[in-house]
């Protein structure tokens, strides 16, 4: 399974930019992969683990802006269509057939 996190955070003031940067850094430090500038995902081992990570996110999201999270199965994620552009290098490396299930 994968958790998708999408956000739009205010970045008008220096303080807002710092908060947005801190949130993006937090996501990367916690193992999320940047798919687009404000779209990140993380691989989880089952729905219970995904719920746990979403609960943790609820505690660290910035107070202003819009942050959404949802869970996708590997099948749903693999059926996503890239309409324009090239896949990111990380997308080539991390495919569902490369994952191990414990």
pLDDT at 96: 52
Contacts of 99 (CB under 8 A, 6+ apart): 43, 74
pLDDT tens readout for residues 35-52: 999 999 999 999 999 999
CATH level 3 topology of 2-98: Alpha-Beta Plaits (3.30.70)
Q: Is the pLDDT of residue 94 over 70?
A: no
Q: Where are the domains of the chain?
A: 2-98
CA distance 54 to 88: 25
Statement: the pTM of the whole predicted model exceeds 0.75: yes
Confidence class of residue 102 from pLDDT cuts 50, 70 and 90?
A: very low
CA distance 2 to 22: 22
Mean local confidence (pLDDT), 46-66: 95
* Mean of pLDDT over the chain: 90
């Amino acid at each position: 399974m994968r958790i998708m996190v999408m956000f739009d955070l205010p970045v008008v003031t220096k303080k807002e930019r710092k908060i947005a940067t801190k949130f993006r850094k937090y996501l990367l430090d916690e193992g999320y992969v940047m798919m687009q500038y404000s779209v990140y995902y993380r691989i989880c081992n089952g729905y219970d683990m995904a719920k746990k990570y979403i609960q943790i996110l609820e505690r660290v999201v910035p107070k202003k802006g819009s942050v959404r999270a949802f869970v996708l199965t590997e099948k749903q994620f693999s059926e996503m269509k890239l309409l324009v552009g090239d896949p990111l290098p990380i997308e080539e490396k991390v495919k569902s057939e490369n994952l191990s299930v414990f």
